[in-house]
Amino acid sequence: MSADQGDMPLGPDGQPMSKKALKKQQKEAEKAAKKAEKAAKQAAEVEATEVDDFAKDRYGVAPLIQSQNVPDRTLIKLQTLGVEKDGETVWLRARLHTSRSKGKQCFIVLRQQQFTIQGLVAVSEIVSKGMVKFAATVTKESIVDIEGTVLKVGQAVEGCTQQDVELHVKQMFVISAAEPRLPLQIDDASRPVTEDEDGNQGPTVNQDTRLDNRIIDLRTTTNQAIFRIEGGVCELFREALRAEGFTEIHTPKIISAASEGGANVFQVSYFKTKAFLAQSPQLYKQMAICSDFDRVFTIGGIFRAEDSNTHRHLTEFVGLDVEMAFNYHYHEVLKVIGKMFNYIFAGLRDRYASEIKMVSKQFPAEPFKFLDPPLILEFPEAVQMLRDNGVEMGDEDDLSTPNEKFLGRLVKKKYDTDFYMLDKYPLAVRPFYTMPDPNNPKASNSYDMFMRGEEILSGAQRIHDPELLVERAKAHEIPLDTIQSYIDSFKFGAPPHGGGGIGLERVTMLYLGLDNIRKTSMFPRDPKRLTP
């Protein structure tokens, strides 16, 4: 655990520090933390004693904002500060990212989300010694209101996003103070993890510490970018589908019967009876299609009581679900979904370029590649590619996770795409409601889709005929009474239809080339984690 340790990885010259220098600095930082606490006490005394401080109205702890008054001032966005504002005096609200005091001056870095600027509190006609002392005692991560004059700098401020200017502080008020000891340091949590251990530039924060202290961890530039990108995935998903005539619906998460036999389903106490959490909105999407909504999508929680402790499983995740009636061939569905994915990929690339860059600074990844139209492989082709590369598998075997990844690499090499669709899965490995292939009794009209070799969508043409559905359920040895209402849904005229379910966190993770799904779930849930 690196809590209570570490500080900026850059030296006072703005250059990365050697390991030795870093260790030394860490020790100093620990000392400094103790000092800071001491100083905080002293600051109170300073305030009490230096009543004749000429600057005393220009700094301090502001009263709790209860909406009691509205000062006549405009708070500007830090990211707008540059040389064109040279000489202007502005107010802003920001976090104190770091501070370093040296005699009569205190260097601070202010942060707003992913943007940072250097500030200087230095003794002058406006700033008193007491004010500099006060500035030095403000704890990191505290929120402050600052009035300062923007001044062009001679040499670029390497450690900040606003490199051409610094802020000469004239007033400084603490709006919300952070406790002096942070459970993790933003800088540690922001440090790139290189594969070579020796290449590391300083302490990093392990995942459980991050997640246990998620409200601080989420403040890193990388996390700010990741969750903005994730919001973008949802937006682009909806834009693409609305343009194709889809209606957004909402489906219940509390259901009376566990679908597909009841494995891996969470049980809920429902008044005097019991219920379950939906493992998928599929039945409800299909009912909406049988109810003439023609094309629907839904975004919502998906719950899986699987005891899978892997880099890509969550017990609760966000499902992006699509279902549509088609005319004669389920490839109509594949086409719509493929177009949608390309819209998402292109939209992320074009609208979130700066966020993607930010993430790749900490977690380097190759840019995501895709083809237009997307590549569609048939299952037997995939099996052949694997066999040609030494994998032994039967025609009707499902792909194992390692084989999926391997196939992803083979596809990337051959077709130069990180996204593809795998069509015509063996009937035997798909759920009972999957439409059999009319031309090949061992195949089915079903598909998975992959990003960087990992599955992100599973879908199919569904059986819309109640008799065939019964026949297939029997073949799967599913007791009919558990699925009777599902079967009944198709008894009053049902159009041919298909669709698929997408895991939001997986799409975000794989688009960005991240290694763990917990990085793309704001408050992840797995068999071992229920908090925060």
Residues 375-414 that bind its own copies (CB under 8 A): none
- 468: contact with its own copies by CB under 8 A: yes
Question: Residue 461 corresponds to which tokens in the numbers above?
Answer: 């043409």
Q: For 215-251, b where at least 16 C-beta lie within 10 A, e where not — what string?
A: ebbbbbbbbbbbbbbbebbbebbbebbeeeebeebeb
* Contacts with 181 (C-beta within 8 Å, 6 or more apart), sequence order: 4, 33
Identify whether 312 is a catalytic site residue: yes
- 436: contact with its own copies by CB under 8 A: yes
Closest CA relative to residue 419, chosen from 361, 354, 348? 348
- 481: contact with its own copies by CB under 8 A: no
How many Å apart are CA 289 and CA 283, to the nearest integer?
A: 10
Identify whether 458 is a catalytic site residue: yes
Length of the chain: 532
CB 431 within 8 A of CB 280: no
From the CB of 194, what's the least distance to its own copies, in Å? 26
Q: Which of 462, 497, 506, 518 is catalytic?
A: 506
* Near its own copies in 48-77, by CB under 8 A: 64-71, 75
Of the two residues 53 and 526, which places its CB atom closer to its own copies in the complex?
A: 526
- 5: contact with its own copies by CB under 8 A: no
Our measurement of the distance from residue 268's CA atom to the centroid of its chain's CA atoms, rounded to an integer in Å, reads: 28
Tokens 């939209």 sit on residue = 347
CB 407 within 8 A of CB 385: yes
How many Å apart are CA 340 and CA 373, to the nearest integer?
A: 11
Q: Which stretch binds its own copies (CB under 8 A): 9-17, 21-29, 328-336, 358-366?
A: 328-336
Identify whether 462 is a catalytic site residue: no
Identify whether 455 is a catalytic site residue: yes
271: left (phi over 0), alpha (psi -120 to 50) or beta: left
How many Å apart are CA 188 and CA 6, to the nearest integer?
A: 7
DSSP state of 194: -
Half-sphere CA count of 69, side-chain side, radius 13 A = 5
Size of residue set near its own copies by CB under 8 A: 108
Our measurement of the distance from residue 379's CA atom to the centroid of its chain's CA atoms, rounded to an integer in Å, reads: 31
- 351: contact with its own copies by CB under 8 A: no
- 179: contact with its own copies by CB under 8 A: yes
Among 7, 141, 164, 166, binds its own copies (CB under 8 A): 141
- 294: contact with its own copies by CB under 8 A: yes
From the CB of 192, what's the least distance to its own copies, in Å? 21
Helix (H, G, I), strand (E, B) or coil at 43: helix
Q: Which of 455, 489, 505, 521 is catalytic?
A: 455
How many Å apart are CA 316 and CA 319, to the nearest integer?
A: 9
From the CB of 280, what's the least distance to its own copies, in Å? 14
From the CB of 397, what's the least distance to its own copies, in Å? 24
- 214: contact with its own copies by CB under 8 A: yes
Identify whether 452 is a catalytic site residue: no
Residue 423: strand pairing partners: 378, 447
* Contacts with 503 (C-beta within 8 Å, 6 or more apart), sequence order: 302, 317, 318, 319, 320, 456
Q: Which of 304, 430, 464, 497 is catalytic?
A: 304
From the CB of 80, what's the least distance to its own copies, in Å? 14
Helix (H, G, I), strand (E, B) or coil at 10: strand
How many Å apart are CA 283 and CA 258, to the nearest integer?
A: 11
Of the two residues 69 and 155, which places its CB atom closer to its own copies in the complex?
A: 69
Helix (H, G, I), strand (E, B) or coil at 84: helix
From the CB of 128, what's the least distance to its own copies, in Å? 25
Question: Residue 32 corresponds to which tokens in the numbers above?
Answer: 């400094």
Pairing relationship of beta strands 165-176 and 59-61 according to DSSP bridges: parallel
Burial class from Cβ neighbours inside 10 Å (0-12, 13-18, 19+) for residue 309 reads exposed
From the CB of 196, what's the least distance to its own copies, in Å? 31
From the CB of 175, what's the least distance to its own copies, in Å? 7
Among 148, 489, 502, 510, binds its own copies (CB under 8 A): 489
CB 92 within 8 A of CB 119: no
Q: Which stretch binds its own copies (CB under 8 A): 43-51, 152-160, 376-384, 436-444?
A: 436-444
From the CB of 487, what's the least distance to its own copies, in Å? 12
Among 107, 303, 345, 447, binds its own copies (CB under 8 A): 303
From the CB of 405, what's the least distance to its own copies, in Å? 27
- 1: contact with its own copies by CB under 8 A: no
Among 29, 182, 375, 478, binds its own copies (CB under 8 A): 182
How many Å apart are CA 62 and CA 157, to the nearest integer?
A: 30
How many Å apart are CA 462 and CA 466, to the nearest integer?
A: 11
Of the two residues 329 and 413, which places its CB atom closer to its own copies in the complex?
A: 329
Of the two residues 118 and 521, which places its CB atom closer to its own copies in the complex?
A: 521
Q: Which stretch binds its own copies (CB under 8 A): 189-197, 412-420, 471-479, 520-528?
A: 520-528
Q: For the packed helices 221-242 and 504-511, what is the interaxial angle rounded to 10 degrees? A: 120
Among 129, 238, 313, 339, binds its own copies (CB under 8 A): 238
Residue 472: strand pairing partners: none
Q: Which of 306, 378, 396, 454 is catalytic?
A: 306
Q: Which stretch binds its own copies (CB under 8 A): 19-27, 126-134, 194-202, 523-531?
A: 523-531
Question: Residue 478 corresponds to which tokens in the numbers above?
Answer: 């599913």
Among 196, 439, 477, 481, binds its own copies (CB under 8 A): 439
- 465: contact with its own copies by CB under 8 A: yes
Identify whether 306 is a catalytic site residue: yes
Q: Which stretch binds its own copies (CB under 8 A): 18-26, 36-44, 298-306, 404-412?
A: 298-306
- 318: contact with its own copies by CB under 8 A: yes
Q: Which of 228, 238, 313, 351 is catalytic?
A: 313
* Near its own copies in 96-135, by CB under 8 A: 112-113
Q: Which residues are part of the catalytic machinery?
A: 304, 306, 312-313, 455, 458, 506
